[in-house]
């Protein structure tokens, strides 16, 4: 089988599968930050932080913009919504199925009750 290019959701979920990157997204959900502000809470080299940031950028979850010498990072709620919606659709699909099954079972004549 030929290698397929990664799908957008592959990159997003891959980006979110790392605790450092999730903490970076958490930080950015409280407001945009420069790369050095973003790096501040981590005991990690700046190149390592930049590498994590690149994974987040490639996934679309974070955008960055350089003005002068400062690169500012912002989360993209559209991309977050896309990942959230995929999970939500699966969960709701399953829950509706269980509801329909419950309604079907409720509508069945109950053998024990009717037999009395």
Q: Footprint of a second copy on this chain (CB under 8 A)?
A: 1, 4, 7, 9-11, 13-14, 16-19, 22, 25-26, 28-31, 43, 75, 77, 80-81, 83-84, 86-91, 93-95, 97
56 neighbors 24 (Cβ within 8 angstroms): yes
Tell me which residue has tokens 């981590």: 42
CB of 98 to a second copy, least distance (A): 9
Indicate the SS3 state at residue 76.
coil
CB of 114 to a second copy, least distance (A): 29
Judged by CB, which is closer to a second copy: 5, or 68? 5
CB of 110 to a second copy, least distance (A): 24
Phi, psi (degrees; rounded to nearest 5) at 94: -70, -40
Tell me which residue has tokens 């959900």: 29
């Amino acid at each position: 089988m030929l290698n397929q290019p990664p799908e957008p959701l592959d990159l997003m979920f891959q980006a979110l599968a790392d605790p450092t990157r999730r903490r970076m997204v958490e930080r950015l959900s409280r407001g945009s930050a420069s790369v050095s502000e973003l790096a501040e809470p981590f005991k990690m080299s700046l190149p390592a932080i930049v590498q994590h940031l690149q994974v987040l950028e490639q996934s679309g979850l974070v955008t960055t913009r350089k003005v002068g010498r400062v690169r500012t990072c912002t989360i993209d709620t559209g991309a977050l919504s896309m990942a959230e919606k995929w999970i939500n659709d699966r969960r709701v699909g399953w829950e509706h199925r269980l509801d329909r099954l419950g309604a079907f079972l409720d509508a069945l004549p109950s053998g024990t009750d009717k037999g009395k």
